[in-house]
Each structure stands twice: as C-alpha cells, then as structure tokens.
C-alpha cells in the first residue's frame, strides 16, 4: 500500500508538469493536420504505411487521429486530449514501475523511493516527456517493454502469451525501437523468467521476421543513415553536413562511437546525445554543479548495480542472472545499438527505465545486507552499517535534486512549446493560412489553447536553475 501511495505521489507530480506543456508545433502540428485529411482510423493506419521512405509508423498516425477525435468529442479541447494522454502515459509508466518492484516491506519501500528518484531524475526520462510528435513514441515503446518484462516474470498462461505478442506488434507498428520488446521477452526467458512460453517467443520471432520482410523486402524502406540528424562527437556536436564531410567515406567509426557512447550515457549521464558536454564545460572553465550531481549520482548508482550484479544471492548464484539485471543489460546493449545513426537522449530512454529497475533491486539488497558484526555472529540480515546507508542516502539525495530538475526542464519545455505558436497563423500572413475551414478551425483552436496556458518565462525561473539542472 505504501509503495503504491509513493508511486502515486511521483506520478501526480509528473502528470501535473507534463499536462501543462502545450502541444508543440515542431514535429506535431504537421501530423495533426495530416490526420484531418484522412476520413477514418483504418485510413490513418493505411496512410502511415506509405507516407515515408524510411519510417513505418502507422500506429502513430492512428493515435493522432484518435486523439483528434477525442478532442472533437470534448468540444474542441485538443489540449486536454493530447496532453492528458501524455500525462496519463506518465502515470501508467510510474505505476507499472512500482508494480514491477513488488515492494512490500519498509526496506523495499525505501529502495523504491530511491529508485523512483532514479527513474524520474534520469536525463533520458525527461526526453520522453519534453517532446511529443504529437505523442511520444519512445514512451510508448518503454511502456510496452515494461509490460512485456512484467509478463515474463508473471505466472504465465495463454493470456500472457497473447499480450506479449500484442505488445510486440503494437510496438513495431509504432516505432522501429519496438524491437526492444522482443529483446526484453527473450532476455527475461534466458534469465529464467517463464511467464512467456517458448511457443509465444517463437511467434514473437516470426512477427519480428515478418516485420523485417515487410519493411525491407516489400516496402523497401531504408533506415536512418549518416547525416540525417546532428549528433555528438567527443566534446563537439556534428551537424549533418559535418558528419558527411568527415565520415562520408567510412561512417563505421562514427556509428561505433555513437553506440558505445549511447550505452555509456545511461551509466554515467555523460556524454549527452554523444557529446561530452562536461569536457566542453571544463574547457571553458564553467564546470557547474549539474555535472557533479548528474555524474556523481550515476557513478554511485552504477557502482551499486555492479556490486549487486556481480554478487551472489542467498542460494550462492551470481545475481547477474536475476531477470531484472539480465533484462537491463540486454536492453542497454540493444537500445544503444539501435542508436547507431545518431545519439539522442530519448532514444535510449527505455534502457534508462530498466536502469532504475536494476537500481531498485540493488538498493534493496544493499539495505538488506547484514553488518559485518552481524554476519560474523551469524545473525540474520538486519541493518547495514551507518556508512553504507549514508552512501545510499547521498546518492538518493542527488537523484532527488535531479528529479526536481525534471520539473524545471518541463517548465522550460512548456515555455518553448507555447512560444512556437506565435509563428502559426500570423495575422500579417493570412495568405499562408490553411484554406480548408476544418483545418483552419482546428489549428486556430490549438493555438488558442496553447497560448492560454500560463507558463513562466525563463526570466521568472530561478537564476541558479541552469547551474544545477542544465540548460535544457
């Protein structure tokens, strides 16, 4: 009960900040307008299959269409539909996380408080809530990956099998990173979780193969390649043209760098989107507290997870075989691998969530270990030494600071998203307004709702905020 209450407290705070972000214009308005031109949900699905040379994301179109229709049903309250959906997804993810920890004792709940701060304080987590296109598909994939992991650890049955296959299908048709759902199912099974049966795993493999054939063999879609997005390299950021100039002949070194650094960023909070911003700050003499807090908390937590993974359980088995650890490792590697073309914090967001789950298992074990005196006396586990608790308290406090930073960043995002609407339907550019009355009506309504949301400008935010939580 205490665990669910704690989760709800985190979830409500997240929902409150996410809901107040207006619908963004970039990467969202175009999709919303496109949904107005198709007559039905099946037509949206069909349009999502053939509207891109590199992406197969029909369920993104369907979700958008559905939310527009919900907005219509609410009397033109599109903001409530889209932002409410995003906030609700955040609540679901946090509560799913709580459910997966199965926290029951006070020690468990303490470890959960720490893990929830890790979850919400991760730099990869904010990306899933700071952007919406007009829904955030990285968040969708992460949610389905969590559901699949929970199914794998369940008692199983045909319902679990069907649900696992459905999670994979929905994920693959939402975003290419949907492959992570399959990885989660396999990793959980390999680690001994038997909730998803072998036949179901076989069906999932067939679904994945069918998806690959449909995407590459039938539709002939290509994947993201060199120079399609900016990405970091050491202390710098490379623009698409710079990538082509430097790696056009052989992009492999850049791809390897991006994969390795994407994985490392989950463990150390650096580099950020491939760029070692800490090095850049150091070079310019501006090493602000954000780097100490972020890298320090991540280093401590990664060390804690490593201690847990390489330790032994009460039966003497290495704990890296614990499904939570095994799934985290598999997701980290795969999630980093799918980031090969360019690094972006939200792409690696799924691994960030499983990192927090591993942090929970490690923190719980850390709090349960006996003091050396107790162990020598053969007493049962009671409480660790003060220094051990103090160390976890230090990490926990640092993560709490980062959690507050999530809300600071979400306020900034709200300001940016609201500002974008000033360029839409400018009174002095009426010749560029949509001619279609329905489209004009929806865009006008979206703009009115976006600017009606009161949002503090950066000038009203604390000046020290950027030092402690970063610029974005």
Partner 1 sequence: MKALWAVALAPCLVALTFAASGVAALLGDRPLVWRARPVTLSEAIANRDQGEVVRQVGTGVSLDGRYDVYDVIKRGRHTPATPLEAAIATREDYMFELGLAYGAHLGPDNARGLFCLAEAEKATDIRDALREKFGPQDCAGVTLPW
Interface residue list for partner 1 (CB under 8 A): 6, 9-10, 12-17, 19-20, 22, 106-107, 109-111, 113-114, 116-117, 363, 367, 383, 386, 389-390, 392-393, 396-397, 399-401, 403-404, 407-408, 411, 415, 418-419, 421-422, 426-429, 447-448, 450-452, 454-461
Omega cis (within 30) before 58 = no
Please state at what angle helix 240-247 crosses helix 252-268, rounded to 10 degrees. Answer: 130
Element (H, E) at 233: strand 231-233
Shortest separation between residue 214's beta carbon and partner 1, angstroms: 42
Nearest by Cα to 349 from 406, 281, 416, 398: 406
- CB-wise, 281 or 451, nearer to partner 1? 451
Nearest by Cα to 325 from 292, 293, 351: 351
| Residue labelled with tokens 């100039």 | 245
- CB-wise, 212 or 422, nearer to partner 1? 422
| Residue labelled with tokens 């792409």 | 347
Shortest separation between residue 371's beta carbon and partner 1, angstroms: 11
Shortest separation between residue 117's beta carbon and partner 1, angstroms: 4
- CB-wise, 347 or 442, nearer to partner 1? 442
Nearest by Cα to 132 from 22, 47, 57, 229: 22
- CB-wise, 189 or 358, nearer to partner 1? 358
Shortest separation between residue 17's beta carbon and partner 1, angstroms: 6
Shortest separation between residue 120's beta carbon and partner 1, angstroms: 8
How would you class 437 by CB atoms within 10 Å of its CB: exposed for 0-12, middle for 13-18, buried for 19 or more?
Answer: exposed
- CB-wise, 192 or 386, nearer to partner 1? 386
Shortest separation between residue 419's beta carbon and partner 1, angstroms: 4
Shortest separation between residue 88's beta carbon and partner 1, angstroms: 12
- 143, 89 in Cβ contact below 8 A? yes
| Residue labelled with tokens 């976006």 | 450
- CB-wise, 28 or 238, nearer to partner 1? 28
Q: Where are the alpha helices (DSSP H) in 421-464?
A: 437-452
- CB-wise, 52 or 105, nearer to partner 1? 105
């Amino acid at each position: 009960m205490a665990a669910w209450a704690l989760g709800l407290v985190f979830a409500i705070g997240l929902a409150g900040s996410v809901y107040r972000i207006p619908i963004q214009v970039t990467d969202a308005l175009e999709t919303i307008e496109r949904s107005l031109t198709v007559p039905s949900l099946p037509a949206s699905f069909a349009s999502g299959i053939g509207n891109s040379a590199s992406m197969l994301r029909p369920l993104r179109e369907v979700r958008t269409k559905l939310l527009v229709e919900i907005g219509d049903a609410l009397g033109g309250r599109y903001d409530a539909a889209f932002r409410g959906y995003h906030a609700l997804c955040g609540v679901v993810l946090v509560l799913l996380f709580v459910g997966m920890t199965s926290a029951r004792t006070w020690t468990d709940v303490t470890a959960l408080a720490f893990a929830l701060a890790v979850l919400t304080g991760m730099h990869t987590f904010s990306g899933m809530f700071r952007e919406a296109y007009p829904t955030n598909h990285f968040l969708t994939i992460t949610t389905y990956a969590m559901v699949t992991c929970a199914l794998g650890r369940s008692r199983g049955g045909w319902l679990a099998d069907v649900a696992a296959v459905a999670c994979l299908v929905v994920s693959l048709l939402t975003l290419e990173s949907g492959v992570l759902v399959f990885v989660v199912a396999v990793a959980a099974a390999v680690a001994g979780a038997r909730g998803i049966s072998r036949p179901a795993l076989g069906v999932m493999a067939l679904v994945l193969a069918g998806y690959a054939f449909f995407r590459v063999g039938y539709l002939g879609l290509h994947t993201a390649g060199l120079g399609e997005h900016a990405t970091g390299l050491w202390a710098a950021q490379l623009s698409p043209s710079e990538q082509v100039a430097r790696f056009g002949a052989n992009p492999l070194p850049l791809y390897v760098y991006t994969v390795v650094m994407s994985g490392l960023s989950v463990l150390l909070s650096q580099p950020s989107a491939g760029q070692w911003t800490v090095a850049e700050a150091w070079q310019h003499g501006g090493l602000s507290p954000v780097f100490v807090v972020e890298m320090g908390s991540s280093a401590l937590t990664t060390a804690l997870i490593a201690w847990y993974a390489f330790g032994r359980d009460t039966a003497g088995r290495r704990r890296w075989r614990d499904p939570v650890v095994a799934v985290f490792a598999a997701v980290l590697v795969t999630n980093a691998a799918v980031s090969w073309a360019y690094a972006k914090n939200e792409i690696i967001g799924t691994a960030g969530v499983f990192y927090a789950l591993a942090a929970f298992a490690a923190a719980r074990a850390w709090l349960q270990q006996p003091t050396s005196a107790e162990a020598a006396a053969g007493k049962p586990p009671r409480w660790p030494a003060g220094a051990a608790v103090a160390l976890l308290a230090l990490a926990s406090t640092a993560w709490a600071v980062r959690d507050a930073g999530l809300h600071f960043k979400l306020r900034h995002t709200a300001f940016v998203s609201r500002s974008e609407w000033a360029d839409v339907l400018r009174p002095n550019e009426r010749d560029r307004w949509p001619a279609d009355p329905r489209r004009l009506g929806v865009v006008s309504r979206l703009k009115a709702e976006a600017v009606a949301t009161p949002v503090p400008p950066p000038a009203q935010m604390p000046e020290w905020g950027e030092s402690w939580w970063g610029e974005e």
